[in-house]
Structure 1
Amino acid sequence: MKPTDTPLTDHPQNTPQETPVPNSQGKPQEQTQNHLESRSQAASNASQEIQQNLSTESSLHSSTDSASNPSTEPPRSTSADSAPTHSTESPQSTSAQDSQQPPAQVSSQDSSQETAPSAAEPAKTLPYKKIAACTAAVLAAVLLLTYLGVSIYFRSHYLFNTTINGQDFSRQTVEDARAFFAGQADAYTLKITESGGKTEDITGSEIDMSWNDSQALDQILKDQNAFAWPMEYFKETYKEITFDISYDKAALEKKVSSLKAVTAEPIQPQSAYPEFDGNSYVIKPEVYGTDLDSKKLLKQIHESVARLDEEIDLQKEGFYKAPEYTAESPKLKELCQTLNQYCKASITYEMDIPIVVDKTLISTWLSYDADFHVTLDEAAIRNWMTEFGRRYDTVGTTRPLTTPAGKATEVSGGTYGWIINEDVEFPALVNSIRNGEVVTKAPACDQTAASHAPQDWGGTFLEVDMTAQHMWYLENGTVVFESDVVTGKNSTPTPPGVYNILEKLSPTVLVGNIDPETNEPEYRSPVDFWMRVTWSGIGFHDATWQPAFGGDVYLWNGSHGCINMPYYNAQELYSILQLGTPVVVHY
């Protein structure tokens, strides 16, 4: 660019202000300033106060420009591409000006414009701050107007999250609520849900229902703080009101009394209770039944109709008479624990087949009263012990057997066998149960036998077959000795039964009963080998006076009841026989 291509003004010191300087977007600063000033003008229209401030700042800016550039001539473009400007000055004046400001000075000014801002540049940045302030003010004004507008809105509308009688009336008017509840009354139905899920309805038409305007809806609106709507947006407001509902109370009560839930034969409630399930006591759940509290129900229905409630669940809301105890009752749980403590006991009696007294049997002996006090039925335990003794006491009972000769028969009577001492064992059993003991034991006995098998005399015993007039001695089931014998005659028979050897004497004298006429013993018989069976005088012994043994000798020369044996046989038996050996005597 040549200096002579651009006409100079009379104020060359203002040239930097009037010469366009590129801004950050590459646009002339003059265009940027015009754009910002138009935004400023728009903002000033939004607020009178902001416009005044902007006018004041603009005046100050104009004064600054006038002081630095008195000429009112608009700035001229220095671009080489601009159209030539026609000056009114003479060529001589132009030459004079050229001579006053050489081209080098113009070049210096161009360089100054590109490298550093002029002294007037800070005044040009002032609109940015004004625009920020204006924008903030406008935003604040908009927010304030919005807040006030919404607050005014909520003076006639319910706030956010407002629920009345279960219905959401957010941002609705009182008239909206009235219309809704009036419609509800017109089509009102109260559903009664019974036990088992059955339902019955009470309709508004059945009770001549009508809805009268209520001031409660207005009061809810009055009570709310419209200016607190921002906070209410995050809160829930629940209101329950009773409307001025009119209906025929007599018709309602008649309808209630006709409900099947009221007229049906009620099932009485049952409390939960402990039940033995075969392993332990568990709580059997309660049963609520269908026995209604009619007075309570009628009162609730009146209240529900007044509120326009839609449903009453008889069971959930507790209209059925409740059981006294439920499965969660602490007293019931404690009772169950106590019962199970008794059932921990297990007493095993060592019999031929073990007899076990455990939870299965013990549970039948347990009971509890209305106060949940547990009782162990000792009378029942006593009866069980008696039956236990009767089953396992074998003295005098009939036992089956097969003789060494192969004859099947049975034997009854005698003094040998089991006798359980029930008087001792009963309290021991009761204590074991109360203490929850686990024990294995033999029962307390007054008398024992070799085993609890049907032939409780075991495998080592003496056997006398009075029909065969023969005897055997067995050890561990094997015959080791046998002999013919002579038993009692018909007038003094040998008593059948199971006995045991009570005494062994060698020698001794057998003395008979005292004869009342002579006051002397009926006999005195010396013997060498005596093996007593009963304390009444029955036993095995040698009988040297007998002419023979076996056969039918006992019929014509039978004994006084003893078992007569040949001398040497009696001697041999005496030598091998032990005290206590069982003796089985039968026909």
Structure 2
Amino acid sequence: MEQKKALNRKKLKVILVICIVMIVTAGIGLAAYIHHVDTVTLGRKVSVYRLDVSKLTVEEAQQKISEAFQNKTITFHEDGKDVYNVSMEQLGYSLDQDILKSALETLKQERSGTFKLFASQRDYKIDYQIIRDEAQEQAALSADHFDEKDRTEPTDAHIRYSKKKQKYVLVKQVSGNQIDENRLLSYVEETLDKDFETELLTSDVKMELNEEVYRQPDIEESGEMKQKVKKLNSLLKKYRSTTVSYLFGEETQVLDSDTISSWLQIKNSGISIDKDAAADYISNMANKYNTIYVPRTFHTSLGTDVTVSDNEYGYRIDQDAELTQLLEDLKSGENVSREPVYSSSGMKRNGTDDLAGSYIEVSLDSQHLWLYKDGALVTETDIVSGAPTPERETYRGAWPIAYKASPFTLSSEEYGYAETVKYWMPFVYGQGLHDASWQSAFGGNRYKTGHGSHGCINLPEDQAALIYNTIDGGYPIIIY
């Protein structure tokens, strides 16, 4: 019995030894295994950017990380629907393998320097470099991939004329939903750069398509545009409220607002006046009211009508200058009253009548002169005119009296004389009215019988004085 108990104790010791040896062997084996894993691979319970790379060599981890990165997917979402998917590989994105391998080797070296029997889970962020194939990225993000949806182009903010409102309005810009490839490219790159900081490898990316990637209007509503609309409507109002009353003595011609409105050229870009239409209006007015340099028909004191072709007295509208002035007047928004801009003007007018009852009339055939002022006969007198020869005859026509002088010396080298007169009133080409003390009589046929002047109209001294004191420079004289 005692022998049997001793044998059992011996067996227990052997078993215990064997167990201890096995435990020690297992421990040594486990330690060797852990050492091997921690030195040959990246170690136990290790992840990179949340991707498990436990017990993987640098090369194996490099391959797994690269594949995970390239399989990472971007899903584009728009209006509640997924519209396009693309992987990093399709996008032309990859990790720089040299930098990745170097970062993994550094990580392996850091971890192999410490031995822990029981490892705890740890996630690492390592250095990386993204390589982008720009051509492939642009191709993967071209607008063609998003054309299943009906898309509208953006419209610029713009100013237009509203016929309904009869004024200019500012139309705001509209973005539309047309994909802008450059904006989309920037949006994707910015979004991915932020995502890579925390989710380089594991999570797919969802991107919302909105105004941030839509083509934007080139012109947006601005304070400057609002101010332009205000100015255009102000100018339009002025054009529509302006009238121009042209004064021709007691007669008036009115350019009314309806006529002005018909000249308006209203475009979205602005307002202008039809200059051709305005110029035609001025031309027609000039044809009606110009009195100089056109044949002049005149009702004489003798009761007959005569026409003088050499007409250098009267009014002439300067059409270019008048157009310039009119265009300025039209912007005023006022009721303008004025005379036209003249290049030539007379003493006084009443409509097309540029004499208005004040003129000197001379009949060469009758050798007689009449002076009228404000419609009343001031005086009439016989005269002696130029001798009826081509060299000495008095010119027929209408002119203004150039000026007055008292006294004045008349001289001529050609005819060899120098005579001083008391009253001198020239009208054209050296000819004029003056007193002639050397004439013993006036009127009749004296101008034909050797007493004719060299072209001047000789007057009795008292009549010359009366005329001189009645008229001023510019007074019209008509000789026929």
Task: Tell me the TM-score range normalised by the shorter chain.
Answer: 0.3 to 0.5
Computing the radius of gyration from Cα coordinates, the structure with the larger value is 1
Q: Which has the higher contact order (CA 8 A, sep 6+)?
A: 2
TM-score, structure 2 normalization: 0.46
Structure number with higher strand proportion: 2
